[in-house]
Structure 1
Amino acid sequence: MTGYCLRAEVDFAALGQLREAAWGGRDDGSGWPAVLSRSLTWVTAHEQGRLVGFVNVAWDGGVHAFLLDTTVHPGWQRRGVGSRLVREAVQAARAGGAHWLHVDFEPQLEGFYAACGFRPTAAGLLRLG
């Protein structure tokens, strides 16, 4: 059975491996302590002690929070893990005082986020580097 934890201690190397498995690329986990130190919360999903899912909630310190880095190991996708991670993150953001939860996503994930209750909005983006 998959267990979900809010703000649990994170094995950063395992998080890097999870991200590599789900998204490709390289992630040794070394950047995550700095990221999570500025987060409102995060949610992890574990199966028999193994990290199989993760989502981060960043925020502006006020009423806006941002859903980031939703990741589910390929072997656990399409089992409801991602949806549960998002539900837990939504509840935690609300409890933390956020009034709005924003998410950016790739086009192929539009249906997933719509099913989680998000609606499309116009937004702007400026590349800084």
Structure 2
Amino acid sequence: MEQEISINLPIESHEVPKLRELVGWDGRHADYPMLFERCNYWAGLRETQGELIAFGYVAGMGLQHGYMEDIMVHPQFQKQGIGQALVKKLLQEAERISLEIVTLTFDSKHTSFYTESGFTLCSGGLWRRQD
């Protein structure tokens, strides 16, 4: 991939929901562009024709701790190292802005991806609103 992953890459409101749907997630159209205003920073990558093919972000108070979320790579570009490069870029930015801790949750099938990307496994919990 010739292009480089960029921090706070300019992204149109419809692009991330489209990518979310391509990877099999709910588009969450209502989250954009508000997410860009509320997260600490994001990273993205476009393919040579300009389509957004990778995205992820870190949210939090921006003091000591951040939470990494929505790490996604377009299905046609998976298994090429883009995901790990995306996580690495997000963690480099965390270091640059002096975050000391970055956490995330992930499906257990992605354990090796995140441990190879520098994360240590730990226990945690999850709360979901009951509809």
**Which residue pairs with 2:57 in the alignment?**
56
Q: Describe how 1:1-129 pairs up with structure 2 within 5 A.
A: 1-25=2-26, 27=27, 29-48=29-48, 49-129=50-130
CA distance in 2, matches of 1:15, 1:5: 15
What is the aligned-residue identity percentage? 26
Q: How many residues align?
A: 128
TM-score, normalization by structure 1: 0.91
Stretches of structure 2 lacking an aligned partner (at least 5 in a row): none
User: Which amino acid in structure 1 is aligned with residue 20 of structure 2?
Assistant: R
Cα deviation 1:44-75 (Å, max 9, x = unaligned):
01111110000111122310011100010000
User: Which structure has greater strand proportion?
Assistant: 1
Per the TM alignment, residue 23 of structure 1 is displaced from its structure 2 partner at its CA by 2.1
CA distance in 2, matches of 1:116, 1:41: 19
Per the TM alignment, residue 5 of structure 1 is displaced from its structure 2 partner at its CA by 1.2
Stretches of structure 1 lacking an aligned partner (at least 5 in a row): none
> Structure 1's 3 and 30: CA in aligned 2 closer, same or farther, altered over 3 A?
farther
TM-score, normalization by structure 2: 0.90
Per the TM alignment, residue 28 of structure 1 is displaced from its structure 2 partner at its CA by 6.2
CA distance in 1, matches of 2:99, 2:114: 18
State which drifts further: 16-25 or 68-77.
Answer: 16-25
RMSD over aligned CA atoms reads 1.4
